[in-house]
Amino acid sequence: MNKQKILIVGAGLSGVVIARLLGEAGYKVSVVDARSHIAGNCHSARDEETGVMVHKYGPHIFHTNNEEVWRFVKNFAEFMPYINRVKSTVNDKVYSLPINLHTINQFFEKALSPKEAVEFIEQLGDRSIDNPQTFEEQALRFVGKDLYEAFFKGYTKKQWGLEPSLLPASILKRLPVRFNYDDNYFNHKFQGMPKDGYTDLVENILKHPNIEVSLSCKINRDDIKEYHHVFYSGALDEWFGYQEGRLGYRTLDFEEIREEGDFQGCAVMNYGDENVPFTRIAEHKYFSPWEEHDKTVAFREYSRECGEKDIPYYPIRLVGEQSMLRRYVELAKKEKNISFIGRLGTYRYLDMDVTIEEAMRAARAFLAAREQGQRVPVFFVEPI
């Protein structure tokens, strides 16, 4: 039996998946989290008044192409069928997202067939843009000015606080454009929602005799000495006392709406107009379509620059941040017995399935390194 002690900082998906795999391998694992709950930003809890399962840090929809990840999560929670279908309100009209044949026909008041729509959109796209680098170029190349301005420009400016001409094309590449009526927001093979919420899923992952969890517990350098290895899923810059500056994040504010019956009739309604100050409204009972609730609770979501006291959500990763990130990576590589993991530890925009997949790889790489007497990597995935 391996009695080595491992510390995992952060009880979000990265930390708990590693905790589980190392616990199963016989390590003694302590998981600590500064917050008073497990599950990080996918934490969910039932709303007292309505009984609705609320995603406390905004909508989380599980989707993946990775069968192993899908099997892993289904081992720890029952997953209910769920397809994310998002609408967008633009200029007082409601459209279907992601941009699909319905959106194109609604928007241009046409009745195009798939083939006609391909031709039509191609002729709207700016073909002088060969190799789109920015969000704006990507949009103009593939959907043209009108759809870009209606659905992407305002939303993106609100979400990122920046002109889309300054953002990388990769952000938009997350969203498909379809020439049929498929309005499933995701292209992945597997999609679903944990029946009793994400916190229940995470709690089950942590249920192992080799794992202990401490909440409301902030860790600093001196606390880690007694451990053989530390997996740190907190913010990379925070670990180094922000000595190179603060890596930029966007944070979110939620404004609660409570009503009898229904509020908007769907889970997520985006707002494309720049003059509407929020980006979207999520009505959480629609994330559990198998449940029935008489009352409803929804949240308007506002994005803004993340201040010192705020919860970081989306890493910005622009040019300035890239050079700062490089300096933090250099510092990190001088550390011993610590690995930086996950969204905050590697400063990347990660979906839940990728987070789990990377955590599995990290745990396996750790076990292999230990077996071969090699040094455990500081990063399992390079942040740059």
Active site residues: 174, 178, 250, 280, 301, 349, 351
Does position 171 interact with ligand UDP (CB under 6 A)? The reply is yes
Look up residue 204 and give its two tokens. Answer: 């089950």
Residue of 270, 296, 346, 355 interacting with ligand UDP (CB under 6 A): 270
Does position 159 interact with ligand UDP (CB under 6 A)? The reply is yes
User: Residue 347 carries which side chain, given as an amino acid letter?
Assistant: Y
Degrees to nearest 5, angle at CA 179 with 176 and 182:
70
* Cβ-contact 147, 178 below 8 angstroms: no
User: DSSP letters along 197-259, please?
Assistant: -HHHHHHHHH-STTEEEE-S----GGGGTT-SEEEE-S-HHHHTTTTT-PPPEEEEEEEEEEE
Does position 191 interact with ligand UDP (CB under 6 A)? The reply is no
- Best CA proximity match to 254, nearest among 281, 291, 274: 281
Q: How far is CA 214 from the centre of its chain?
A: 24
Span near ligand UDP by CB under 6 A; candidates 118-126, 154-162, 224-232, 283-291: 154-162
Nearer to ligand UDP, 27 or 151 (CB): 151
One character per residue 62-101, x = contact with ligand UDP (rule: CB under 6 A)? --------------------------x--------x----
The DSSP bridge pattern shows strands 249-260 and 295-305 to be: antiparallel
Span near ligand UDP by CB under 6 A; candidates 19-27, 171-179, 192-200, 363-371: 171-179
d(CA 24, CA 244): 38
Residue of 155, 190, 263, 366 interacting with ligand UDP (CB under 6 A): 155
Nearer to ligand UDP, 108 or 314 (CB): 314
Nearer to ligand UDP, 160 or 179 (CB): 160
Nearer to ligand UDP, 227 or 271 (CB): 271
User: Residue numbers of the site for ligand UDP (CB under 6 A)?
Assistant: 88, 97, 151-152, 155-156, 159, 171-172, 174-175, 270, 272
